[in-house]
């Protein structure tokens, strides 16, 4: 009994000290089609700050109904700030897998937490671990606070809907992981619309 308690404590502190990485979060083992469906739901969600509101309808060939000129072209990752800040084509060619891994990890954090939190809490790690460098991006020193993340912009009823959808398919997901799933699934949906 005592031993079990010790183990339990160990696992709890371990998971707090070493939160799951973006890749490990994929291990919820949700089939990719289901993730895409959920991602689409999140992207077009009716909340006032849905991704579609600013970034437009990326399911169409030309982006339509785009509210915001300054928002990134989600169909072309080569135009993204992160692509440039990580060193662009040159760095990518050195080690495409590593480049993609770093890019995905940064973008999933940005989508989850939004620009303001990313600038404050994630930039320094991205700079140290991945070589993210603002000097490579002309005229920019941080992400535009207009880029809202899941934690700020997603309505609670969307999370509930995701929860219900997953339950129906037999996946029991801890509430605190729903936002991660929303972020990963919406990014999968975006990746699926690349030109
Ligand atoms: C209120 C407007 C707004 C909303 C809502 C919004 N974004 Fe953005 N997004 C922006 C702006 C503006 C930028 C450009 C940020 C910059 O370059 O500093 C951006 C940038 C991005 C980028 C590119 C980052 C880069 O490195 O260039 C991605 C990917 C992205 N958004 C995805 C999303 C997703 C997915 C959602 C929905 C969960 C979303 N955004 C919601 C305004 C928004």
- Write out the two tokens for 32: 């990719």
User: Ligand 1 test: best mutation among 54, 126, 141, 192, most atoms within 8 Å of CB?
Assistant: 54
Q: What is the pLDDT of residues 90-106, one digit of tens each?
A: 999 999 999 999 999 99
- Write out the two tokens for 19: 């939160």
- Which ligand 1 atom is the nearest neighbour of the CA of 186? 35
CB 111 within 8 A of CB 187: yes
Alpha carbon 158 to its chain's center:
16
Q: What is the pLDDT of residues 138-160, one digit of tens each?
A: 999 999 999 999 988 888 889 99
Residue 165 CA to residue 37 CA, distance in Å, equals: 10
Whole-Å CA distances, 48 to 39, 116, 155: 17, 18, 9
Pocket of ligand 1 (CB under 6 A): 49, 51, 53-55, 68, 70-72, 74, 80-82, 107, 110-111, 143-144, 146-148, 150, 153, 186, 190
Three-state DSSP class for residue 155: coil
Is the alpha carbon torsion for 129, 121, 133, 74 positive or negative? Answer: positive
Residue 71 CA to residue 66 CA, distance in Å, equals: 9
Residue 190 CA to residue 138 CA, distance in Å, equals: 25
Q: What is the reported pLDDT for 48?
A: 76
Residue ranges in the chain modelled with pLDDT below 50: 13-25, 27
pTM check: above 0.75 = yes
- Write out the two tokens for 46: 């009716």
């Amino acid at each position: 009994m005592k031993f079990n308690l010790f183990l339990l404590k160990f696992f709890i502190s371990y998971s707090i000290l070493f939160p799951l990485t973006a890749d490990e979060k994929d291990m919820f083992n949700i089939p990719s089609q289901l993730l895409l469906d959920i991602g689409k739901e999140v992207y077009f969600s009716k909340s006032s700050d849905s991704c579609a509101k600013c970034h437009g309808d990326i399911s169409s060939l030309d982006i339509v109904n785009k509210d915001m000129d300054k928002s990134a072209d989600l169909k072309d990752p080569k135009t993204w700030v992160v692509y440039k800040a990580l060193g662009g084509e040159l760095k990518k060619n050195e080690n495409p897998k590593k480049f993609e891994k770093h890019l995905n990890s940064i973008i999933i954090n940005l989508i989850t937490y939004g620009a303001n939190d990313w600038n404050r809490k994630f930039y320094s790690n991205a700079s140290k671990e991945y070589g993210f460098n603002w000097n490579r991006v002309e005229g920019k020193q941080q992400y535009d606070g207009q880029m809202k993340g899941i934690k700020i912009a997603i309505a609670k009823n969307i999370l509930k809907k995701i929860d219900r959808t997953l339950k129906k398919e037999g996946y029991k997901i801890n509430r605190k992981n729903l936002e991660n799933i929303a972020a990963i699934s919406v990014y999968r949906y975006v990746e699926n619309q690349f030109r």
